Amino acid sequence: MKIKKYQAKSFGAALRAVKRELGQDAMILSTEDRKDGTSFVEVTAAVDYDCAEPSVMTDDARPVAPLGNSDLSELKMEIQELKNSIENMKSSGCEISLPVDRKKMFLFLKERSIKEDLAIGLAERASSVEDIEFLVNGDIAMGGREHHGAAVDKGDRRIVMLIGPTGVGKTTTTAKLASNAIGKGEKVGIISLDTYKIGAAEQIRIYARMMGVPLDIVSNREGLNKSVTKFSDKDLILIDTTGQNPKNEDYIHRMRGLYELGHSIETHLLFSTSGDCDFFIESCKHYENLPVDCMAFTKTDEAVKLGSIYNLCHHYQKPVAYITNGQRVPGNIEFVDSRKLTNLILRTGSA
Residues 6+ apart with CB under 8 A from 202: none
Does the structure show a pLDDT above 80 at 90? no
**Mean model confidence pLDDT for the chain:** 80
Contact assessment for residue 325 and residue 334, using Cβ atoms and an 8 Å cutoff = yes
Band (pLDDT 50/70/90 cuts) for residue 101 is: confident
Amino acid 22: pLDDT: 82
Share of the chain above pLDDT 90, in %: 32
CATH 3.40.50.300 domain range(s) in the chain:
142-346
Query: ω into residue 330 within 30 of 0, thus cis?
Result: yes
Domain 142-346: homologous superfamily in CATH = P-loop containing nucleotide triphosphate hydrolases (3.40.50.300)
Rounded to whole angstroms, the Cα distance separating 28 from 41 reads 13
**Which H or E element spans position 21?**
helix 11-22
Model pLDDT for residues 257-307, shown as the tens digit of each residue: 999 888 899 999 999 998 888 888 888 888 888 999 999 999 999 988 999
SS3 category, 296: strand
pTM summary value: 0.73
Band (pLDDT 50/70/90 cuts) for residue 69 is: low
Q: What is the mean pLDDT of residues 66-77?
A: 62
DSSP state letters, 56-80: EEETT--EEEES----HHHHHHHHH
Strands (E) across 140-218 are located at 158-163, 188-192, 215-217
Greater confidence, 204 or 48?
A: 204
Strands (E) across the chain are located at 2-8, 27-36, 38-47, 55-58, 63-66, 158-163, 188-192, 215-217, 236-240, 265-272, 294-298, 320-324, 333-334
Contact assessment for residue 295 and residue 270, using Cβ atoms and an 8 Å cutoff = yes
